[in-house]
Amino acid sequence: MTTRMQAVRDEFARVFGGECTLVRAPGRVNLIGEHTDYNEGFVFPVAIDREVRFAVSPRDDRKVVLRSLNFDAESEFSLSNITKDADQPWSNYVRGIAAVLQDAGHVLRGMNAVIEGNVPLGSGLSSSAAMEIGALLAFEAVSGFQIAPVSAARLAQKAENQFVGVNCGIMDQFISRLGRKGHALLIDCRTLSYEPVPVGGDEVRIVVADSKVKRGLVDSEYNKRRAECERAVVLLSGRLSNIGALRDVTPEQLAAHGDLLADVTRRRARHVVTENDRCLRSVEALRAGDLEAFGKLMNQSHISLRDDYEVSCRELDILVEAAWAVPGVLGSRMTGAGFGGCTVSLVRADAVERFRAEVSRAYEQATGRTPEIYVCSAEDGAGIAEA
């Protein structure tokens, strides 16, 4: 058992006593395929070795009692009257899961839970999805039912959309539940079909650099981008038949009919259309063992996010450009919603320490901030942890 998991178990014994079940759910990083999920396109994330951990046991009443080690705080609620907790917003992810599970007809037992995690908050590595998926498995464990993994991801997304109030796509919850060790998942966000693809083996590492810039403007700008994409679909439908989303438009079609769109709308559409194409080509490159081609597609993705979709920021650009200058870096890009958060780089194993030193130095010199750098591995999705 890891030291951190033992700490969760020890705290459970101190606060609640008795036996407990241990549950873990990972965060994620998306290697390529950004802002494509809500356009019914393709994404390519990995579950990472940063996770949220629950120690839980059933209660004989309808009460859910939560203790957070990260926030050194408690929150409780009744399954008969689930409302938000403005004072302890971290608990709303658990509350939202309980609400959607009951709405779906599942009979929940009350629960005692201790929660701890090391997915950095506000960094774009999806601590929220890890909380939601972890809570869902915790309720499964104490209540005695099981939900199919894809259905679990759908329910967790619903909790974030309708209870927490964030209009996210399904990628984060999907990869947290269904990730596979050593692999990324190619996910079709329209059909929810998925395919695990090995990520370079021992030859490479996935390195995440946290800009330490909390993501600002995300909600308002995200909604603008969604509206621009939807507008592009309406206008392109005048010439192209059977278009339900930008996922259905090829780069060649957009080039031929882009005159229908105003400049900003055309650039937003161009990012999504070319990013879907890059995502599929990057998977082909990995299958062929062509890591250099994969890295080049990551670089192109960042340029498109920076110039066409305009969701990068100065700090993310500095991190990416510093990474591009390090020998042994195959590719680097911003990851997540943008306007702060993290970059992801595919780095040859023997270049990781040089990456850490040179990217940190360049970023500190340019911004005065020290980035947090995580060398990540691709891990399994959520499950019951070993006792």
At residue 2, what are phi and psi to the nearest 5 degrees? -70, 160
SS (H, E, C) the chain: CCHHHHHHHHHHHHHCCCCCEEEEEEEEEECCCCCCHHHCCEECEEEEEEEEEEEEEECCCCEEEEEECCCCEEEEEECCECCCCCCCHHHHHHHHHHHHHHHCCCCCCCEEEEEEECCCCCCCCCHHHHHHHHHHHHHHHHHCCCCCHHHHHHHHHHHHHHHHCCCCCCHHHHHHHHCCCCEEEEEECCCCCEEEEECCHHHEEEEEEECCCCCCCHHHHHHHHHHHHHHHHHHHCCCCCCCCCHHHCCHHHHHHHHHHCCHHHHHHHHHHHHHHHHHHHHHHHHHCCCHHHHHHHHHHHHHHHHHCCCCCCHHHHHHHHHHHCCCCEEEEEEECCCCCCEEEEEEEHHHHHHHHHHHHHHHHHHHCCCCEEEEECECCCCEECCC
What is the Cα 74 distance to its own chain's centre?
26
Which candidate in 37, 172, 210, 248 is catalytic?
172
Alpha-carbon torsion (355, 356, 362, 367), positive or negative: positive
The structure tokens listed for 368 are 């005065």
Catalytic site residue 37? no
Strand partners, 43: 187
263-287 and 218-236 helices cross at what angle (nearest 10)?
90
**Spatial distance between the Cα atoms of 111 and 79, rounded to a whole number of angstroms:** 10
Look up residue 61 and give its amino acid.
Answer: D
Residues tagged active-site: 172
